[in-house]
Structure 1
Amino acid sequence: MRGGTVAVVGGSIAGCALASAAARAGADEVVVLERTHGRLADRGLGLCIHDGRAAELAATGALPTGIAAHRLTRRSWVVRDDTAAGPAGRVFWEQPFLFHSYHWGLLWRGLRAATPASVVYRQGAAVTGVAGAGERAEVRLAQGTTEAFDLVVGADGYRSVVREAVCPESRPAYAGYVCWRGNFDARRLESLGDGGWSPESVTTVCFAGGSCVVYRIPGPDGPRVNWVLYAMPPQTGRLPFNDPTSFPPGQVTEELTAHLGALLDREFPPYWAQVIALTDPADTFVQPIYDLETARTTAGRLLLAGDAATVVRPHNTSGAAKALQDATAFEDAWRRAGTWDELLHAYQAARGAAGRELVALARRLGRGQVEQPPVWATMDRREAESWWQGQLGGAADIGGQAMTP
C-alpha cells in the first residue's frame, strides 16, 4: 500500500518510531502532534533494552545505530546482612543480564534525528479528542481546529486521548505501590569506593516489602548511575496516588523523602544506602506504579502504540523495546497490506496479545518483588533460581518477547 496521510499523536519514543515507520512504508504525509513545547531530550530517566530485542530492532531500522548505550552483563541480588557481610551486603544470587542501558533523552534524540525529513514534527499541538469512524479520522486541537487524516496513531502515553476513543473502558489501574527514581553523575561514586560493583553489573537490593535496581547509564556529560526503588508508600492517606502522574523531580514531598530515608537506614546495606543518598533532590522523583491492558489496539481509522496501548510495570524492562516493536509491526503490516482495513487487522493480530502478555508478566514480577516477596535473607542460589522461573511463568526472559519473523 502506498500513499495516504497519517497523524501521530505524541512525539516521544513511540511517536518518533511510528512516524518514521509510516514514512518509510510510503505514506504521502506524516504529521507528529506533540503537546509540549519544551525539550523532551532533557528527560534523564534510565532504561534498558535486551540485547536480543536490540539486535532485531536494529535489523529492521527501528533502533538507529550510533545511540549511546552502556553494556550490562550480570545482575547481582543483594540483602543486608549485619552479621557476616561487609557494607555492600551479601550477594545471594547472580544471573546473566544481557542488556544495554540508555539515557531516555539520548535515545529520544537519536530517534528524533533519524526521523525522515518528510515528517512534520509540530510541538505545542495539544490534541483534545479524536474520531475515527468512516473513511477518515479526525483530531481536535486545543485551539479549536480540526484536522482530518487517513489514519491517526495514538502514541500519547498512559493518559492517551486516542485510547479514550479506541477503548474508553480501559483505565490505568494502581498497583498499590510506588517507585522512587533518581540518577546522578557516576563520578560521585569515587567518594564511596566501588563497593565491589562492576560497571557492567546491575545490582538489585532486596528488603522486606520491596527491591531497588541500580545500574549505570550513559549521560550527556558522561556515565551516570540510575536507580529505581519499589516499595509501599507511607500509609497516611494524604498522598494522591489515584492518578498515574508522578511527583516530578524537585517536587517530592517531605513525607515521601523522609519515608525513603528511613527505609534506606533500616533495610539497605550501608554502601547501597550511601549510593542512593548521592542523588540530588532535583534528580529524584516518585512515580505511582500502574498497569493497563486494552482489549484491542485498533478501531476504525485509529491505532494505539507504546504506552497508549499497554502500560507495563517497569520490572519487566520492556517499555522502550515494546514501543519500537510496535513500530516494526506497524511498518511490516503496512508493507503487506493492500487496504487500510488490512493494515489495521494485521497490526492488531501482531501486537494485541503481545501487549497483554507483557502486562501479565510484569504483574507477576511486581507481586514477587514488592507485594508478596520471599524472605530474601534466607534465600540461596538454588531457591532464587526456582523463584525466578516461577516469576517468568514460562516466558523466556524479561525485556520483551522476540518478534515473529
Structure 2
Amino acid sequence: MAVVGGSIAGSAFAAAAARLGAERVVVLERSPGRLEDRGVGICTHDDRFDELVRTGHLAADTRRHRLTVRRWVTRGPAGAGDGPDGRGRVLWDQPFPFHSHHWAGLWQSLRERTPEQVEYRLGSTVTAVGGDDGGAWAEEADGGRHPYDLVIGADGYRSVVRAAVCPQAAPEYAGYVCWRGSYDDALLAELPGGAAVWPEEECVTVCYRGGQVVIYRIPGLDPGRTQVNWVFYAPTPGWLRLDGPTSIPAGTLTDSGLDELRQLAERHLPPYWAGLVTLTPRERTFLQPVYDLATPRRTAGRLLIGGDAATVVRPHNTSGAVKAVQDAHAFEQAGRTAGSWSALLAAYDRERSSAGRELVELGRTLGRAQVTAAPDWSAMDGPAMTAWWQHQLTGGGGFGGHALGRTGPPS
C-alpha cells in the first residue's frame, strides 16, 4: 500500500495498514526534512484521547498539557471593566475537559508507534494517482509510476488523491481568517502581572465584534517547557488574495501584515491579551484562511482519502487531530471484518463520510455563532452564554469529536 502524506493522518493510516498485515507500506511525504515544526497547538477531548489510547493509536504517555476550564471574556466599554490585571470582563467559565498538544509531539507519538515495516520516503512529491477495482498507482515528480494494491490520500486540504476520488470537491472559503502564533511562555514575564495572572489549566476565548481569539498553553518541544498558543479569528485582510486554498507561512508575513495584526489586537482585546498576541516573534506568526470541505465520497476504485484530504473542519470544533486518527481507526476496523477490498472500502466510506459531513456542518454552525453572526457580547452573562452554547450543539453535537464507532446523531 502507499500512503500519500506523512503527517498525523498519514502516520495513523500507515500504522493501521501495517497492523492489518500489509506486507509493504510506503509513506510518500513531499517535505524533504523532518516534520517537527509543522503546525502549532491542537487539543484533544479527554474521552477521545482515552479511546485512542485504548485502541492502540496513541501512547498513554503522549506529552500533553491539561486544560479544565474555558474562560470566555470580552473587553469592557471603551476599555473600562477590563479588571486590574487587564484580562477583560468574564462572560462565562465553561467546563473544558481537554488536553493540549504541540503538533510535533502528537505526530511523534503516532510516528513512534508505526511498525518497522512502514517505509517513509521524504521528498517524494506525488503528482497524480489513479486506478480501478483491480489496483492503484501513484506517479511521482520524477515521472516514475508505481503500482499498489491501495493508495491512501492523507495529503491535506490540497490533496492530489482527492482530485482523483472527487474531482468536483474543493475547499470553500468561510469568509474569515485565523492568524496563529506560539512561543515559549517565559516571554509572558514581559507583560504586567507576567504569567501568574493566567492559570495554566485555563483556555481563554476573547470575544469581540467580528471575531474571537482562543488562547491556551501547550507543551514545548523540550521536556519541562511550556508554550503559549493562540488562534485569532478575524475578517479577511484587504491584501489577501485567495486564488485557491492557501496560507501565509510562519516567518513570511510583511511588516505591514504584522502591524495589521498588532492593530487588531490593540483595538479589540483587553490589554493583557493584546500584549500576549503582539509578543509573538515574526518567525512564529502565520495566517490561515478558514475553509470548509465535505466530500460526497471517500473512495473510488482502489483509492481512499482521509484526514483533511476528505474533510476540512473549522478549528472551532477542536476535533481535527481526533478526526484524522479516527479515520484511520475506521479503516483498520473495516479491514478486520471485510472479506474483500470492495467490502473494506465500502464500510469505511459508509461510516466516515457521514461523520465527516456532520463535523463540517457543526463547524459552520460554530463559526456563525462565534464569528460571523455572533451575539452582542456586552449583553451576555453566564446563563445567556450557557443557553447560547447549547443551541449551537442542537442536532448532533460533536464538539471535540464523536465517540469511536458512532455513525449518526446521538439519540
Q: Is the 8 A contact 1:62 1:327 kept in 2?
A: no
CA distance in 2 between counterparts of 1:156 and 1:51 reads 27
- In structure 1, runs of 5+ residues without a counterpart are 1-5
Q: Is the 8 A contact 2:182 2:230 kept in 1?
A: yes
**Per-residue deviation at 1:191?**
2.7
CA distance in 2 between counterparts of 1:280 and 1:233 reads 22
**Per-residue deviation at 1:386?**
1.2
**Per-residue deviation at 1:84?**
2.8
Q: Does 1:8 align with 2:3?
A: yes
Q: Does 1:84 align with 2:81?
A: yes
Equivalence for 2:31: 36
**Per-residue deviation at 1:42?**
1.9
Q: Is the 8 A contact 2:75 2:81 kept in 1?
A: no
CA distance in 2 between counterparts of 1:141 and 1:114 reads 27
**Per-residue deviation at 1:341?**
0.7
User: Could you list the per-position Cα deviations for residues 253-282 of structure 1 after superposition, in whole angstroms to 9, with x for gaps in the alignment?
Assistant: 334322211111111101111111111011
Give runs of aligned pairs for residues 78-227 of structure 1, distance below 5 A.
Answer: 78-81=73-76, 82-86=79-83, 87-192=86-191, 193-194=194-195, 196-221=197-222, 222-227=225-230
**Per-residue deviation at 1:309?**
0.5
Equivalence for 2:244: 243
**Per-residue deviation at 1:44?**
4.7
CA distance in 2 between counterparts of 1:276 and 1:232 reads 17
CA distance in 1 between counterparts of 2:295 and 2:133 reads 22
Equivalence for 2:356: 355
Between the two proteins, what is the percent identity of the paired residues? 55
Q: Among 233, 236, 254, which residue is 1:233 paired with? A: 236
Equivalence for 1:310: 311
CA distance in 1 between counterparts of 2:398 and 2:139 reads 41
**Per-residue deviation at 1:196?**
3.1
Amino acid at match of 1:85: D
CA distance in 2 between counterparts of 1:225 and 1:273 reads 13
Amino acid at match of 2:170: R
User: Could you list the per-position Cα deviations for residues 349-402 of structure 1 after superposition, in whole angstroms to 9, with x for gaps in the alignment?
Assistant: 110100000000001111111111111121011111111112222334511111
User: Could you list the per-position Cα deviations for residues 88-129 of structure 1 after superposition, in whole angstroms to 9, with x for gaps in the alignment?
Assistant: 111110111111100011111221121100111111111111
User: Could you list the per-position Cα deviations for residues 177-220 of structure 1 after superposition, in whole angstroms to 9, with x for gaps in the alignment?
Assistant: 11100001011112322363210010000011000000000011
Equivalence for 1:3: none
Provide the aligned length of Structure 1 versus Structure 2.
398
User: Could you list the per-position Cα deviations for residues 234-257 of structure 1 after superposition, in whole angstroms to 9, with x for gaps in the alignment?
Assistant: 3x3x32123222111111133432
Amino acid at match of 1:352: S
CA distance in 2 between counterparts of 1:56 and 1:396 reads 18
Q: Secondary structure of 2:286's match?
A: strand
CA distance in 2 between counterparts of 1:264 and 1:301 reads 48
Equivalence for 2:276: 275
Amino acid at match of 1:53: R
Q: Is the 8 A contact 2:362 2:398 kept in 1?
A: no
4+ long deviations beyond 4 Å: none
Q: Is the 8 A contact 2:203 2:216 kept in 1?
A: yes
User: Could you list the per-position Cα deviations for residues 111-160 of structure 1 after superposition, in whole angstroms to 9, with x for gaps in the alignment?
Assistant: 11211001111111111111121311011111011111111100000010
RMSD: 1.3
Q: Does 1:57 align with 2:68?
A: no
Q: Among 26, 40, 43, which residue is 2:21 paired with? A: 26
CA distance in 2 between counterparts of 1:394 and 1:172 reads 24
Q: Is the 8 A contact 1:29 1:118 kept in 2?
A: yes
Normalization by structure 2: what TM-score? 0.94
- In structure 2, runs of 5+ residues without a counterpart are 407-411
Equivalence for 2:409: none
CA distance in 2 between counterparts of 1:84 and 1:139 reads 59
CA distance in 2 between counterparts of 1:296 and 1:205 reads 37
Normalization by structure 1: what TM-score? 0.96
**Per-residue deviation at 1:10?**
0.6
